[in-house]
């Protein structure tokens, strides 16, 4: 066998072993954030459900507004504040591209 091919095969084997080690390491380290990722998945599922069932969400919020108007207003203000906060975060890292000449 060609000496260069042997060197490449050995290097490939070391890389495959290193890749397996890194996969095991990242799996272990991600266990710490697994609960947060579970909540993010639940939130995403809830948002997808709301997007698919807007009539039910609207009826529920109207029922809350009629039944508990003060609580509905408080909840609405919290949602508005959260929305403005997220909008502010979106603008933090965005810069207009500069033109080079």
pLDDT digits (tens, 9 = 90+) for 9-66: 999 999 999 999 999 999 999 998 999 999 999 999 999 998 999 999 889 888 888 9
Residue 88 falls within a domain, yes or no?
no
Q: Is residue 20 a part of any domain in this protein?
A: yes
Verdict on whether the full-model pTM lies above 0.85: no
In a domain, 49, yes or no: yes
Question: Quick one: pLDDT at residue 76?
Answer: 87
Structure tokens at 37: 């990722």
Helix axes 34-52, 54-67, angle to 10 degrees: 90
> Number of structural domains, the chain?
1
Domain that holds residue 64: 3-71
- Within a domain: 98: no
Q: Give residue 57's pLDDT.
A: 85
């Amino acid at each position: 066998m060609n000496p260069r091919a042997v060197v490449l095969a050995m290097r490939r084997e070391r890389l495959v072993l290193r890749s397996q080690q890194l996969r095991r390491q990242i799996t272990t380290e991600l266990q710490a954030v697994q609960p947060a990722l579970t909540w993010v998945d639940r939130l995403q599922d809830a948002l997808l459900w709301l997007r698919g069932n807007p009539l039910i969400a609207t009826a529920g919020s109207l029922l809350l507004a009629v039944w508990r108007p003060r609580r509905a207003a408080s909840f609405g203000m919290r949602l508005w504040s959260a929305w403005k906060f997220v909008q502010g975060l979106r603008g933090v890292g965005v810069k207009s591209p500069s033109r080079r000449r």
